[in-house]
Chains A and B, each alone.
Chain A
Amino acid sequence: MAHRIFPQEEYILKGHAACPGCGATLLLRYVLKALGPSTYIVIPACCTSVIAGPHPRSAFRVPVLHIAFAASAAAASGMVEALEKLGKPANVVVWAGDGGTVDIGLQALSGAAERGHNIIYICYDNEAYMNTGIQKSGSTPYKAWTTTTPTGNPSFKKDVPSIMAAHRVPYVATINPAYPNDIIYKLRKASSIRGGLKYIHAFSPCPPGWRYDPSLTVKIARLAVETGVWVLYEVENGKFSLTGLSRNLLKKENRKPVAEYLKLQGRFAHLKQEEIDEIQRLVDEQWRRIEEIVAEHGARAKSV
């Protein structure tokens, strides 16, 4: 299959301003390899506004529109319509952080999804507002330390992929930088689906924000999947399927204990044993729901 030939071209150049071990930059590198040079990116306020490098140069080899925090999905809507009207088809990609997606940008994202613009919207989820110094976002996990939740986040992570699936967009998927082939495969698929917004939610480890050594990014990313904290899946035209390693994790005994994932990160260092147990219970509960969804989708597929 074509996606197995890993693209050699680089679209992120030397001299970008990301921290060492930045998961977001790894992800974007693979995303651009998958999509190629005929791609416009729209970036709201977030770490990537800085990673791109200072004006008047850019560390990205594709055209980039930097835009106000809440505006990315709307800017992409206008851009994709204009390109269509001007007869210049190309990929239009939003690349936004979790804050710019699940919080301030959600209204514009919802509008763009409902209107069905041909956009690939990617949220790189580093689970806090990193650009402004690690404050809680609507995507911060339960109990995680941030500078505005110094004793641990009391609320639960907002499930935006489900919200997007409820918009009946043609494609929703999750990705993780430990699985580059999966990223290439899913992004190529998203790009091949014309008409409608494609929503991709990316696991994006962040060494300074999550307080771990930069050498551990890929290890933590892989552990997130292996412990079942992060689930790899796609929802294609409403049909849910687990993908990659996550396909084998329905049975609890196949999943590693979440403690293995938590213990590597300073943001969870304050957790007591009962809190770790509680997080384990929440992850198990999540997988119980996935089991129901998978069973229901299987039954639906059979009845067709």
Chain B
Amino acid sequence: MSKLLLTGNYAAAYAVRDAEPDVVSAYPITPQTPVIEKIAEFIESGELNAKFVRVESEHSAMAALIGAASVGARTYTATSSQGLFYMYEVIWWASGARLPIVMGIVTRALGPPWNIWSEHADFYALRDSGWNMFFASSAQEVYDFTLVSYRVSENPEVLLPTLVGWDAFEVSHTYEPVSLVEKEELKSFIPPKGSWKPLLDVGEPGSLGNLAYPEEYIKVRFEMRKASERARRIIEESLRSYSSLTGRRYWFFDCVYCEDADTVFVIQGSIFGETLRAVEELRSRGEKVGLVKVWVYRPFPYEELGKAIEGTKNVVVLARASVFGSLSPLGSDVASALKLRGASARLFDVTVGVGGVDVKAEDVIGIYDKVRVSGESSFWWVR
């Protein structure tokens, strides 16, 4: 197993190289650009035998993949923020058409004002679109989840697109050692080409996406819902199998110091490091705190997460997204997970790190101190 020093973005590009897609299409946006530049290099040097469609917009990038995947090609694209929103219409088209497209989202705040730094509002905007959604907190996880995405998406029981999110700059541009999987080993992990049937074929003319009357439409959507439920099991199985292939332990989420915790933080992405530092600091003070890092965001592991945290007194969600007039998306999901199990834990929904603001261990400790004395259950943490 070889190890390279890679940024999160390059880790994505290496995973794409190793997954051997047929068609890649993308449009540049900071901080996603190095992903597609590296893939372009792989293609032009012959390391990856794929077609690269250099489209004129993100809307076209996703549309090109829809065209390619509908005739059976394995595909990839990546984008961020404004680009993702420009693509939004066709993102729903990809999932509704049941195409196993894989995409990277380098999470970035939305304008105005312009801001190129991390925030998860773009990622969360896709939560109801039918895509399977992973969130990575390191370059290694970016590499790993990108590979797992192909296995999940192309499973004939799923056939839904999958995306992997990771934080702008903190992960996208930071170099870390990344272990790669040997091509030979990947052969047993990623399905062979042609393991799913193309939806369009001149030999068997049919049509994809034509007008459906209400009774047919709800059936199509119901089938999609069942596929998304099956994806839960396929994701778990794929992560298990990937873990035994690589020795890196993955599940729907990671739980650190959870056993005896009476307060648990729930986070996604690169704030994991500083939150963990805070948890260890609080533990050394004798506080019983734990930490959950959510890896699989859709389908959301309500049952599993609810079970893991239902016994605690306080659940503090640290969500990195601008939210107005509601809880954060992660906060709402965690609240649902608790409620579905009838848990009595108190939920705190805290907005942190919006637009790239650093989240330091001291902030997390400050939040911990605040929730213990304050009655406020939903607030922004602005230093």
Chain A contacts to B: CB under 8 angstroms? 37-40, 42, 49-50, 52-56, 58, 60-68, 70-86, 88, 90, 107-108, 110-111, 114-115
Contacts and interface: CB of A to CB of B under 8 A. Distances in A.
Nearest to B56: A111
Interface in B31-76: 50-51, 53-57, 59-73, 75
B-side interface mostly = mixed
Contacts of A85: 22-23, 50-51, 73
Contacts of B64: 74-75, 77-78, 81
Contact of A86 (B22, B93, B209, B211): B22
Contacts of B53: 77-78, 81, 115
B210 A53 contact: yes
A52 B211 contact: yes
Contacts of B60: 71, 73-74, 77, 107-108, 111
Contact of A70 (B59, B61, B217): B59
B201 interface: yes
A50 B211 contact: yes
Nearest to A11: B205
B207 A60 contact: yes
A74 B86 CA distance: 14
A239 B346 CA distance: 75
A84 B51 contact: yes
Closest 4 CB pairs of A and B: A78-B64, A74-B60, A111-B56, A79-B67
B95 to A, nearest CB: 13
Interface of B: 22-23, 25, 50-51, 53-57, 59-73, 75, 89-90, 93, 200-202, 204-213, 216-217, 220
Contacts of A74: 55, 57, 59-61, 63-64, 67
Contacts of A72: 63
Contacts of B57: 74, 107-108, 111
Given A67-B63, A78-B64, 15 more contacts: A40-B200, A54-B211, A54-B212, A58-B206, A60-B207, A64-B210, A73-B60, A74-B64, A78-B53, A78-B65, A78-B67, A78-B75, A81-B53, A83-B71, A115-B53
B213 to A, nearest CB: 6
B216 A54 contact: yes
Contacts of B56: 107-108, 110-111, 114
A65 B206 CA distance: 9
A60 B54 CA distance: 31
Nearest to B208: A65
B93 A62 contact: no
A77 B67 contact: yes
B216 A78 contact: no
